[in-house]
Amino acid sequence: MIVFRNVNKYYGTFHVLKDINLEVNKGEVVVIIGPSGSGKSTMLRCINRLEAITSGELLVNGVKVHDKHTNVNELRRNIGMVFQHFNLYPHKTVLQNITLAPIKVLGQSKEEAEKTAIYYLEKVGIPDKAHAYPSQLSGGQQQRVAIARGLAMKPSIMLFDEPTSALDPEMIGEVLDVMKSLAREGMTMVVVTHEMGFAREVANRIVFMDEGRIIEEGEPTQFFANPKEERTREFLGKVL
Interface with ligand ADP (CB under 6 A): 11, 14, 16, 34, 36-42
Nearer Cβ to ligand ADP (92/213): 213
Strand 157-161 and strand 188-192: the pairing is: parallel
Residues in touch with Mg ion (CB under 5 A): 41
Q: Minimal distance in Å, beta carbon 73 to ligand ADP?
A: 22
What's the closest the beta carbon of residue 10 comes to ligand ADP, in angstroms?
A: 9
16 binding partner (options ligand ADP, Mg ion, none; Cβ < 5 to 8 Å by kind): ligand ADP
Nearer to Mg ion, 41 or 143 (CB): 41
Any residues with CB less than 8 A from the CB of 226 and at least 6 apart, and which? none
Strands (E) in the chain, as ranges, are 2-11, 14-24, 29-33, 55-60, 63-64, 79-82, 157-161, 188-192, 205-210, 213-218
In this structure, the dihedral spanned by the alpha carbons of residues 132, 190, 185 and 70, taken in order and rounded to 10 degrees, is 90
What's the closest the beta carbon of residue 32 comes to Mg ion, in angstroms?
9
Cβ distance to ligand ADP smaller for residue 81 or 95: 81
* Residue at 238: amino acid letter: K
* Residue among 112 and 211 whose Cβ is closer to ligand ADP: 211
Three-state secondary-structure class, residue 165: coil
3-state secondary structure of 59: strand
Cα–Cα distance for residue pair 206/102, rounded to 1 Å = 32
CB atoms within 10 A of CB 55: 12
Compute the half-sphere exposure of residue 90: CA atoms within 13 Å on the CB side of its CA.
2
Smallest distance from the beta carbon of 79 to Mg ion, in angstroms?
17
Rounded to the nearest whole angstrom, what is the least distance from the CB of residue 68 to Mg ion in the complex?
27
Q: Which is nearer to Mg ion, 42 or 108 (CB)?
A: 42
Closest contact distance (angstroms) between CB of 102 and Mg ion is: 28
Q: Which is nearer to ligand ADP, 14 or 69 (CB)?
A: 14
DSSP labels, 9-44: EEETTEEEEEEEEEEE-TT-EEEEE--TTSSHHHHH
